[in-house]
């Protein structure tokens, strides 16, 4: 079985083959840092992280790059020359650089909380101006771009494949329907590589003018090339990035390098909230802080966002969050029970019992992940394991095999199950022992009091015929 991924470029699932054996070059479209990232953003970043983790599970080295866009996003295409960061800065009466530093820091904290593995590098657009200018100059030289005053545009008509990714064609693009076409453009679909505006705060002098800043798409082309090379294996982003952003990246990079850019384009469907689009007006653009404030661990959010396959719409509600929490705790419980069964507690008599079942579950999990990261199917495979261990159908060595798989493969990808052996401090150990004594004396008032006290400390006790078991709430 090989890893099969859906490629937006071809609209088919394809076997994944990296350019270089054993190495995968992957670029993830990251955040524009002018505000707090919301849970919808994280669906895309958790998808990218899952992809990276699964590739690593299959033994390859992943060179992963995620950009931080800290400059250059215009609010609109009119003549305002204002970008989101500058606009936010104006609102808050702060320096735009300070704004982008602030939100970058919070973004890094958020992804850490979600258990997202750090990328190899998080390049900032503002630190790659020379690389962008180099590409722009190259495109001008090759005749793919033209200068209009102090601006530079990419000439879409020179790139016949423009529209291949999104299914749009230049002639069908309803250009000018909602925005005014700038007169200096040769074609309405031409897009900016470099813009100029004296009022801009974040700007760089070039031979095009004193007050220039990069167009939106060029930063990703330049940073992908700088950190991964002319050609890459995978490029990811949200579904909204397909057009125009990724379409434009392809045009720029391929015209500049003369080679195909990314072999696989993978896009995450949007997260819906309360059955529809999340909106500031409805107040449901939740951040991690909102989730934590409601009493959920960030890892529960991670699991919640992995409930659905990344290419199908996924809905978020607090009730669904509750459910995710329960399911995740059941996976924690699976891990704890496997650890006990490994030592013979709650295990089948024959050590080898259930080995075949464990192998089947592993195979099913692997097959599910290999099928375009079908995480819900993969989680279902783990549930089979849980049923087996609850029914004490796994022997010690089968449980050890299952635990090995859970820790070193399944949770390497899911990244949110508690799989570590946990220990109690002596004081709690003593309290548990004291409760057992009280129960023996049939002093249930005392035993229940101790149980409540421990519960308040997050320790849940279960009395089984074979003794007491504890777990963290």
Partner RNA sequence: GGCGGCAUAGCCAAGUGGUAAGGCGACGGAUUGCAAAUCCGUUAUUCCCCGGUUCGAUCCCGGGUGCCGCCUCCA
Site for RNA in 169-198 (CB under 7 A): 172-175, 177-179, 192, 195
Residues between 240 and 279 with contacts to RNA, criterion CB under 7 A: 240-244, 268-272, 275-278
| Residue 452 in the binding site for RNA (CB under 7 A) | no
Its sign, for the CA torsion 437, 439, 442, 444, is: positive
Residues between 215 and 234 with contacts to RNA, criterion CB under 7 A: 215-216
| Residue 458 in the binding site for RNA (CB under 7 A) | no
| Residue 96 in the binding site for RNA (CB under 7 A) | no
Select from 313, 343, 344, 441 the one that contacts RNA (CB under 7 A): 313
Query: Rounded distance, CA 29 to CA 27, Å?
Result: 7
The nearer residue to RNA, 214 or 395, going by C-beta atoms, is 214
CB of 321 to RNA, least distance (A): 10
Select from 360, 384, 393, 428 the one that contacts RNA (CB under 7 A): 384
CA angle 391, 396, 397 (to 5 degrees): 120
Residues between 428 and 447 with contacts to RNA, criterion CB under 7 A: 439, 444, 447
Residue 349 — φ and ψ, nearest 5°?
-60, -45
Residue 466 — φ and ψ, nearest 5°?
-95, 5
**From residue 98, how far is each of 34, 35, 88, 101 by CA, in Å?**
10, 12, 11, 5
The nearer residue to RNA, 44 or 355, going by C-beta atoms, is 44
Residue 235 — φ and ψ, nearest 5°?
-130, 125
The nearer residue to RNA, 427 or 452, going by C-beta atoms, is 452
Strands 467-472 and 459-464: antiparallel
Query: Rounded distance, CA 405 to CA 362, Å?
Result: 7
Query: Rounded distance, CA 443 to CA 58, Å?
Result: 55
Burial of 259 (0-12, 13-18, 19+ CB in 10 A): exposed
Residues between 106 and 135 with contacts to RNA, criterion CB under 7 A: none
The nearer residue to RNA, 168 or 257, going by C-beta atoms, is 168
The nearer residue to RNA, 285 or 401, going by C-beta atoms, is 285
- CA 6 from centroid of its chain's CA atoms: 17
Contact range with RNA by CB under 7 A, out of 12-20, 108-116, 147-155, 374-382? 374-382
| Residue 287 in the binding site for RNA (CB under 7 A) | no
Token pair 């602030």 is found at 102
Residues between 17 and 76 with contacts to RNA, criterion CB under 7 A: 29, 31-32, 37-38, 40-41, 43-44, 72-76
| Residue 200 in the binding site for RNA (CB under 7 A) | no
The nearer residue to RNA, 61 or 115, going by C-beta atoms, is 115
Token pair 């071809």 is found at 10
CB of 351 to RNA, least distance (A): 21
CB of 121 to RNA, least distance (A): 18
CB of 119 to RNA, least distance (A): 15
Q: Are 149 and 212 in contact (CB under 8 A)?
A: no
| Residue 362 in the binding site for RNA (CB under 7 A) | no
Query: Rounded distance, CA 51 to CA 62, Å?
Result: 10
The nearer residue to RNA, 61 or 168, going by C-beta atoms, is 168
| Residue 377 in the binding site for RNA (CB under 7 A) | yes
Contact range with RNA by CB under 7 A, out of 93-101, 139-147, 197-205, 386-394? 386-394
The tokens describing 469, both together, are 């078991």
Select from 320, 407, 424, 459 the one that contacts RNA (CB under 7 A): 320
Select from 230, 333, 359, 360 the one that contacts RNA (CB under 7 A): 333
**From residue 59, how far is each of 21, 50, 77, 237, 254 by CA, in Å?**
11, 14, 45, 24, 30
Select from 253, 309, 366, 411 the one that contacts RNA (CB under 7 A): 309
Shortest CA distance to 64 belongs to which of 217, 250, 228? 228
**Number of residues near RNA (by CB under 7 A):** 85
Q: Are 341 and 390 in contact (CB under 8 A)?
A: no
CB of 126 to RNA, least distance (A): 14
Q: Kindly state the helix (H) or strand (E) to which residue 232 belongs, with its residue range.
A: strand 232-238
Contact range with RNA by CB under 7 A, out of 15-23, 59-67, 109-117, 368-376? 368-376
């Amino acid at each position: 079985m090989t890893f099969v991924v859906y490629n937006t470029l071809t609209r088919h699932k394809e076997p994944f083959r990296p350019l270089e054996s054993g190495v995968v070059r992957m670029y993830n479209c990251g955040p524009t840092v002018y505000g707090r990232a919301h849970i919808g953003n994280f669906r895309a970043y958790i998808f990218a992280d899952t992809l990276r983790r699964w590739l690593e599970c299959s033994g390859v080295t992943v060179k992963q790059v995620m950009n931080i866009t800290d400059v250059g996003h215009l609010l609109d295409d009119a003549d305002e020359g204002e970008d989101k960061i500058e606009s936010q800065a104006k609102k808050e009466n702060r320096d735009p650089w300070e704004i982008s530093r602030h939100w970058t820091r919070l973004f890094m904290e958020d992804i850490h909380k979600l258990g997202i593995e750090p990328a190899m590098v998080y390049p900032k657009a503002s630190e790659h101006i020379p690389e962008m200018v180099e590409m722009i100059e190259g495109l001008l030289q090759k005749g793919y771009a033209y200068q209009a005053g102090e601006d530079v545009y990419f000439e879409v008509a020179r790139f016949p494949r423009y529209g291949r990714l999104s299914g749009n064609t230049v002639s069908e693009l309803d250009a000018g329907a909602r925005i005014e076409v700038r007169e200096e453009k040769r074609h309405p679909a031409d897009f900016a590589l470099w813009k100029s505006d004296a009022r801009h705060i974040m700007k760089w002098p070039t031979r095009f003018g004193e007050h220039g800043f990069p167009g939106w798409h060029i930063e990703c082309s330049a940073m992908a090339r700088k950190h991964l090379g002319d050609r890459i294996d995978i490029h990811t982003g949200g579904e909204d990035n397909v057009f125009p952003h990724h379409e434009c990246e392809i045009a720029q990079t391929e015209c500049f390098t003369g080679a195909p850019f990314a072999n696989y384009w993978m896009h995450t469907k949007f997260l819906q909230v309360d059955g529809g689009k999340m909106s500031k007006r409805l107040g449901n653009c939740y951040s991690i802080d909102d989730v934590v404030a409601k009493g959920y661990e960030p890892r529960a959010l991670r699991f919640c966002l992995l409930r659905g396959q990344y290419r199908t719409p996924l809905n978020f509600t607090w009730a669904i969050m509750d459910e995710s929490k329960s399911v995740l705790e059941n996976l924690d419980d699976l891990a704890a029970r496997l650890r006990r069964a490994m030592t013979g507690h709650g295990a089948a008599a024959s050590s080898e019992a259930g080995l075949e079942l464990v192998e089947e579950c592993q195979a099913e999990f692997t097959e599910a992940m290999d099928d375009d990261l079908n995480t819900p199917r993969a989680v279902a495979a783990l549930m089979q394991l849980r049923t087996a261990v609850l029914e004490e159908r796994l022997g010690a060595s089968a449980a050890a095999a299952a635990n090995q798989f859970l820790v070193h493969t399944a949770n390497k990808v899911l990244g949110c199950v508690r799989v570590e052996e946990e220990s109690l401090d002596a004081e709690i150990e003593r309290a548990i022992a004291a409760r057992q004594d009280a129960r023996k004396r049939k002093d249930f008032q005392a035993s229940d009091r101790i149980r409540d006290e421990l519960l308040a400390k997050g320790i849940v006790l279960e009395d089984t015929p074979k003794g007491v078991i504890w777990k963290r709430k």
